[in-house]
Amino acid sequence: EIVLTQSPGTLSLSPGERATLSCRASQSVSSSYLAWYQQKPGQAPRLLIYGASSRATGIPDRFSGSGSGTDFTLTISRLEPEDFAVYYCQQYGSSRYTFGQGTKLEIK
Amino acid sequence: EVQLVESGGVVVQPGGSLRLSCAASGFTFDDYTMHWVRQAPGKGLEWVSLISWDGGSTYYADSVKGRFTISRDNSKNSLYLQMNSLRTEDTALYYCAKDDGDGYNLDYWGQGTLVTVSS
């Protein structure tokens, strides 16, 4: 089973700053199979990025994804107040899905 | 508008059984694979199970294999999760989620139903 490790666990930034979140896989993952989700308190997760770098429907272009192999990154170019949330990466393999443990993005 | 509404979550004793339901609307239900994902209180997301569009293929996380059974009724636009031999570690918010069609991502989620396993 592929394990996804996200870092940092918590990221403290101010609105307007740039956020860089990391997701590292224990084995190589096809870029097609890597996604990012956002979850706000009391809400269901929302798909942000699929295929490592494609934005889901309605996702603002300040969100971008990149990476390949075992290292993937979610970047938020300029933080808005509504972006403070928990972010999860997720991979698909052999009809199984695994999530990273999450990165909490908090207001500094 | 895609809507997924889960129901059936309650407090149940260890060893007990429970059936969760998910009512889907706003899309052609029988075109899509569907999933269950759970989140223990204060914890991260754990994928539980999926079922193909026609119910012909099902997959489970190792943590629930042999205890949980996923099913669907396309005539009722409904997804189900039969949960048997429940353990305290099954306590979680259970989300129903729609596959995006590619088979790799979950593009719509319900609000979840809470299952508490406790004596």
pLDDT tens-digit map of B37-62: 999 999 999 999 999 999 999 999 99
Contacts of B42 (CB under 8 A, 6+ apart): none
Token pair 């592929």 in the structure block, residue:
A2
Cβ proximity of B94 and B117 under 8 Å: no
Hey, what are A79's tokens? 């933080």
For the segment A60-73, the average pLDDT, to the nearest whole number, is 97
Which pLDDT band holds residue B103 (cuts at 50, 70, 90)?
confident
Which pLDDT band holds residue A94 (cuts at 50, 70, 90)?
confident
Q: Do A47 and B106 touch (CB under 8 A)?
A: yes
Q: Do B95 and A88 touch (CB under 8 A)?
A: no
Instruction: Answer yes or no: is pLDDT of A1 > 90.
Output: no
Q: How far is A35 from chain B (nearest CA, A)?
A: 7
The reply to whether B100 touches chain A by the CB within 8 Å rule is: yes
> What value does the mean pLDDT of chain A take?
96
- Report residue A83: phi and psi, to 5°: -85, -10
pLDDT of residue B47: 97
pLDDT of residue B102: 86
For the segment A49-58, the average pLDDT, to the nearest whole number, is 96
Q: Do B95 and A45 touch (CB under 8 A)?
A: yes
Pairing of strands B18-25, B3-7: antiparallel
The reply to whether A9 touches chain B by the CB within 8 Å rule is: no
Per-residue b or e along B24-44, where b marks 16 or more CB atoms closer than 10 Å to that residue's CB: beebebeebbbbbbbbeeeee
Q: Where are the alpha helices (DSSP H) in chain B?
A: none
Which pLDDT band holds residue A53 (cuts at 50, 70, 90)?
very high
Q: Do B104 and A33 touch (CB under 8 A)?
A: yes
Instruction: Answer yes or no: is pLDDT of A95 > 90.
Output: no
Could you give the percent of chain A with pLDDT greater than 70? 100
pLDDT of residue A18: 98
For the segment A74-91, the average pLDDT, to the nearest whole number, is 97
